[in-house]
Amino acid sequence: MLEIRNLHASVDGNEILKGINLTINKGEVHAIMGPNGSGKSTLAKVLAGHPSYEVTGGEVLYYGKNLLDMSPDERAREGVFMAFQYPVEVPGVSNAQFLRLAYNEKQKHLGQEELDPLEFKDLLKEKAALVEMDASFMTRSVNEGFSGGEKKRNEILQMAVLDPKLSVLDETDSGLDIDALRIVAGGVNKLHDPEKAVIVVTHYQRLLNYIVPDFVHVLSAGRIVKEGGKELALELEERGYDWLKNGANKHTAAPVAS
């Protein structure tokens, strides 16, 4: 589904990603871990097409097509979704209005039926139940005045509505208490199926108890320095990241994604 080859990216002339290789097949769940500042969010944003990040080398193929050639909205309509680490507020625009527009753009793109406000309300109600979000959030402005946890839940609600093929969840666990974490993770798991893939970005192991990854990749200073199965996450929990930082042997742990 996704093939990242030797990806380099920089912001304001500073190279942040220094040659990332990663292959993701449908049905898989990948975790990207690593210390703060290692480039995890940068990788997520480059995949989503954030205009501040310049790709300086390498390529990314998505279903065989050059992902980097597509505008952010095209990528989204083609099924790439990113749950933001810091969701953005859009004053005066209701959650329902925003989501219906996004939903209909995608439907239009796929040549499928668009929904009027009433039909969409029903769909939204069903999806909101998945993340146990109250109906009152639908009429409120996008993320405005939402608590940290509510914003994260709202991200997963959007994922549920847009039904993406590839989801990149950037630190979706941060700011969630344990109950909310369980709900959000449960929502992500329910949405997962063999046709889809998920990349979970986190620097804690905690979330991975609920969303169990098939592969774990450790990012440090813009490179993947270690890869393994879900047990790698536990090892990191115990030992921290320091032992990996300098020239760690990348291919010691078991299965490498292919």
Ligand X SMILES: Nc1ncnc2c1ncn2[C@@H]1O[C@H](COP(=O)(O)OP(=O)(O)O)[C@@H](O)[C@H]1O
The CB density around residue 253, as the number of other CB atoms within 10 Å, is 17
Exactly one of 16, 82, 124, 131 binds other proteins (CB under 8 A); that residue is 82
The partner in contact with residue 194, picked from ligand X, Mg ion, other proteins, none with C-beta cut-offs of 5 to 8 angstroms by kind, is: none
The CB density around residue 94, as the number of other CB atoms within 10 Å, is 16
Name 17's bridge partners: 9
Q: How would you label 132-165 residue by residue, b for 16+ Cβ within 10 Å and e otherwise?
A: ebeeebbebbbbeebeebbbbbbbbbbbbbbebb
Q: How far apart are CA 122 and CA 127, in angstroms?
A: 9
Exactly one of 64, 88, 118, 258 binds other proteins (CB under 8 A); that residue is 88
Q: Is residue 59 near other proteins by the rule CB under 8 A? A: no
The partner in contact with residue 93, picked from other proteins, Mg ion, ligand X, none with C-beta cut-offs of 5 to 8 angstroms by kind, is: other proteins
Q: How far apart are CA 167 and CA 201, in angstroms?
A: 10
Exactly one of 2, 4, 9, 16 binds ligand X (CB under 6 A); that residue is 16
Q: How far apart are CA 95 and CA 86, in angstroms?
A: 16
Residues that bind Mg ion (CB under 5 A): 40-41, 85
Q: Is residue 41 near ligand X by the rule CB under 6 A? A: yes
Exactly one of 6, 25, 71, 139 binds other proteins (CB under 8 A); that residue is 71
> Where along the sequence are the contacts to other proteins (CB under 8 A)?
48-52, 71-73, 75-77, 81-82, 84, 87-93, 97-99, 101-102, 105-106, 109, 141, 158, 162
